[in-house]
Amino acid sequence: MQFLVGCWEVWHALAGPGDQELRRAHGLGLREFIALSHLQAQPTTPARLARQLGLPRYEVSRLLAQLETLGAVTRRRASGDARQVQVSVTPAGHALWNAALEHVQALVRPALAGLGPALPGLGAALLAAAEAARRTPPSPCVSSPRRADPRPPVSRSL
């Protein structure tokens, strides 16, 4: 439980101020920055990006629309399959991401400085834990609580 609480606390301590600063300085939020980070290496499909980000496709579609508005990405039909879309980063998107990355690093550096040489290992361990969590099916002993029917009871009397 301490692991989950720790992840939650770090995320909230860094994400709120980081999101505001990124929007102010670069016109993109933390979600857009992270999506753009995933797109730096090579073109991909919106479905693959949704899986990588752990977001529903409609959310990724919104993120991509925002990134397109900023001129950071383009969406084109894939050659050979007109149904599939490829998302690519534009030169302006690379420049935006690099500038935002410097900003993010400057924001988090003071908070993470105390970790010293443990930081690279911690980052790798968190990524490995995230990947393992994505591959692990939900436990059969954990079930979703049943919700009560929100409708009022129907009167059977006449």
pTM here is: 0.73
User: Does any domain span residue 39?
Assistant: yes
pLDDT, tens digit, 9 for 90 and up, residues 92-103? 999 999 999 999
Asked if 71 and 90 touch (Cβ cutoff 8 Å), the reply is yes
Distances in whole angstroms, Cα of residue 121 to Cα of each of 34, 53, 79, 102 = 20, 22, 41, 21
Q: CATH code at 100?
A: 1.10.10.10
User: Does any domain span residue 75?
Assistant: yes
User: Does any domain span residue 70?
Assistant: yes
User: Does any domain span residue 141?
Assistant: no
pLDDT, tens digit, 9 for 90 and up, residues 13-67? 888 888 888 999 999 998 999 999 999 988 999 999 999 888 999 999 999 999 9
pLDDT-based confidence at residue 155 (cuts at 50, 70, 90): very low
User: Does any domain span residue 101?
Assistant: yes
Most confident of 52-56, 95-99, 109-113, 135-139: 95-99
| Concatenated DSSP letters of 65-125 | HHHHHTTSEEEEEETTEEEEEEEEE-HHHHHHHHHHHHHHHHHHHHHHGGGTTHHHHHHHH
pLDDT, mean of residues 79-88: 81
User: Does any domain span residue 48?
Assistant: yes
How high is the mean pLDDT of the chain? Answer: 83
Structure confidence at residue 142 (pLDDT): 56
User: Does any domain span residue 83?
Assistant: yes
CA 65, CA 74: separation in Å to the nearest integer? 9
What range defines the domain where residue 108 resides?
Answer: 28-114
Which segment of 100-104, 133-137, 153-157 scores lowest on mean pLDDT? 153-157
pLDDT, mean of residues 125-141: 79
Structure confidence at residue 134 (pLDDT): 76
Structure confidence at residue 44 (pLDDT): 92
pLDDT above 90 coverage of the chain, percent? 37
pLDDT, mean of residues 56-85: 89
User: Does any domain span residue 85?
Assistant: yes
